[in-house]
Copies of this chain bind each other. A is one copy, B any other.
């Protein structure tokens, strides 16, 4: 078992992983931040002991993932793309065959944590944004697609209100990863106006608890809201 767990660290690293590791070392050493240019390809090849063609291949992978971009001939670090993580998580979820119940469990934990922290940390701007989204969700005759989009916005805005950047990224990625499933679930709802009304009231009750600073109540309410939705969607 020891040897199984140790395997990832002793197997040979791919070139792009070496480049990743090298870049990471430079970033963590506070030498590079988002917006900064990477060293020249030739310098990277020398310092990482790799061929120039290997480095170029690795840089193209990073570019394709949206982690660096070409700016007037220089590779510049981007710092705001969650797309790569969402794409990869989505594909991994499909390939690894995660069960929906696994995802719901992880989501409920992240949502509960976000609600608890938001009750302490949300600014009036955060709360105003959440109120705005809820107002849009209560439009009469709202379509399932628009409701679903606003629903995603609400849960991501809630994570944002917890002021935990990693939680925001994971929430957005998990949500993106199940977007197709969510669309199907929404489309299969028979009493849509009644469901939209109930879901809106549940969001509203979560936000009420956050506004009064009752994190434990907010956590219970959002946990039940997410669990019930998936149970109903079957």
Contacts and interface: CB of A to CB of B under 8 A. Distances in A.
B165 A102 contact: yes
Contacts of A20: 87, 90-91
A52 interface: no
Contact of A113 (B16, B96, B109): B109
Interface stretch (A78-86, A185-193, A200-208): A78-86
A166 interface: yes
A98 B6 contact: no
Best-surrounded residue of A27, A94, A105, A149 (most CB of chain B within 10 A)? A94
A77 B33 CA distance: 34
Nearest to A181: B28
Contact of A169 (B84, B96, B165): B96
A102 B65 contact: no
B88 A65 contact: yes
A99 B163 CA distance: 10
Contacts of A112: 109
Interface in A40-55: none
Interface of A is mostly: helix
A61 B84 CA distance: 12
Interface in A203-222: none
B99 A88 contact: no
Contacts of A149: 2, 5-6
Contact of A110 (B28, B95, B109, B153): B109
B64 A152 contact: no
B102 A167 contact: yes
Given A1-B129, A110-B109, A132-B1, A84 B88 contact: yes
Nearest to A103: B166
A67 B89 contact: no
A61 B67 contact: no
27 contacts: A1-B129, A1-B132, A2-B136, A2-B153, A6-B149, A8-B82, A16-B64, A20-B87, A20-B91, A27-B94, A27-B95, A28-B94, A34-B95, A57-B64, A58-B64, A61-B61, A61-B64, A65-B88, A78-B95, A84-B92, A85-B88, A96-B169, A98-B169, A99-B165, A103-B166, A105-B164, A106-B164
